[in-house]
Structure 1
């Protein structure tokens, strides 16, 4: 709008300058005829003033007599009254229903006041200015669209890097990658660097914590072993209190093992870690077959390809190790292991062909260190450790009779990592 107004003012000034020049030409055409008096010598004026309704007009007043250009036809221009000599006046008016710029000035010639009034139709100029205004508005609108498009492109380009970081974080959580990929976006690069540093720092802290727990376990076993030897000496000497002390020593050892196991359990996996259950099962089965060689155990495996443990490898080894160790101790010859993962949880099922556990005794078996048969080590601290790991991962554990093999059936359900994180947030 401001540019259109500026162009209109320039056009008006250009027309006014031309009218001023024509006014002097018309003034020169005003002549005094001795016989006829004052007249306009049209030969000295521009031909446009002789064409009817040409859009260029003049009228001249001398001694109260008006002379009109032929272009005015039967109309006339409203004249200014009381105009001083040498005074110029420019105004905009409607002539024949068209916008017209009017210029008037009073001159002195041969001792007479002569008022010259000129007018020019500026409708074409107004139309051109209007078209120019629409053109500029259109160009401005197009420019605005281009600017907005460019801005959207720049924003999307910047956000695309964030989208890539978001995808990398999802892959990091699922264990597909160990750290975020480098980015070329300068503003986002520090964020990626800090996240990678945080992940590495968490791994180092967890490793140091586990090393400390391992050192503590090793340090605690030595004095307990010495105490057990002294207790055995007391029992050999027939000291009656020796048996009670030995029982308390056993309980103390189990308590230490239980608390150390709890300390080793990480809970949720660090970002960038994903453990396939089948890989760890194969290693454990080889070990158990060697330990229980005399039983010639047969392990029947049904492991789906998507069975990934939503946590730390050490926790998975601890969980599977205790499940399979208990099953191996009580099984006659066969153990069935299943692992499946759906959209909500990982399900682990371990069944054996042993004597099983009565329904009324299953709840008692889940108590810390509780054993149903004191003559056989197992189903006690091992089940307590299993229960502790499952609780840490906010999962569920169920004991039942195996319809397939007839022994004990242990079902462990652990939520997927995304569900686990949502549960923690809630």
Structure 2
């Protein structure tokens, strides 16, 4: 049997948790109030009785033990509102007399201090009293003074005060419910606004979510807008890919079809080579557009381990180019993450390293760096490099055949396109050893100093 069913809404969950907690705390406060009230009342009455006993003692000592000269009786009751008993060897005074059955046993007792008598069943006398007894000597006479108060009247006053406290507690609980409901409603207003924005987005009235949400909802809104940007980018890439394929494949297909439909022309070796060249053009174009369609772009929550991916690529390229050496220098740790989608980082590193491996003479050097300015990837080779006037145009999208040319072509264009999608830059320059140096800079924050500098050298797929 299920005793508690989890609410299906945030408002219901908060009310189900906060309201019982508020009621329990209010009940505990009411119980503690009752206990403290009893204790404080008891101490207050005891202090008053003790003070009045001290007053009587002072009067008796001033009169040298002569009880007849004391102003007692109705005067004492009207001023102090307490019953009293004074006993000496010559006389005993008790006021009011109806309390005598309660006070006489206390006069005969030898115990001083606060005394309580409860459960008495005497006409015109209370059933529960608190008395303070003190014995002392004045000259040769032994005097006993007792002052007492009816606890029944005190308890009735306490019960009335406690009842009013309970009423106030109930009102506070109702006020707490109203405050909780108002607070939850105001706190959930951004969710209602977000829901309305999503509905407007679904209806096509807005392109992005622009809601003034609290700090806790900012990551959600950013993630949703990032998702929309990613979907738009993928849709745009798909359309561009279809347009490029339609434009680039149309001419080779028309040429092949013309050759095949011309029945008067035999398929000579030259014609076969032309057909194969056209089909190669189609294949390269398909490969280029397929690689571009896999770009993810920046996504919140997506990250990669640059050190691990770089080592895997260096190992693979060491196998692909066994006569060349690949080096890596970095201060990153194994656990360090970069806010770049794993496949995108793999494309950038792979294209730059593969291009350097093709054109290098003996070795390629990779550098991974992170500081307050951002994330930096540098790839340098000892190959022939590129003319200074051609450096600014490397990796730019121009003619389709330029992007498919082996070397500084398709791979560099893909690396530049991915870098720009992350708000970064790809620059080319002449390296310190005369070859081409490619530098990728991604915006980002520094994760601080990492562990000691690590330098890994790979040749033929093995570290050295």
TM-score category, normalised to shorter length: 0.3 to 0.5
TM-score using structure 1 length: 0.47
Q: Radius of gyration: which is bigger? A: 1
Give the TM-score taking structure 2 as reference length. Answer: 0.44
Q: Which has the higher contact order (CA 8 A, sep 6+)?
A: 2
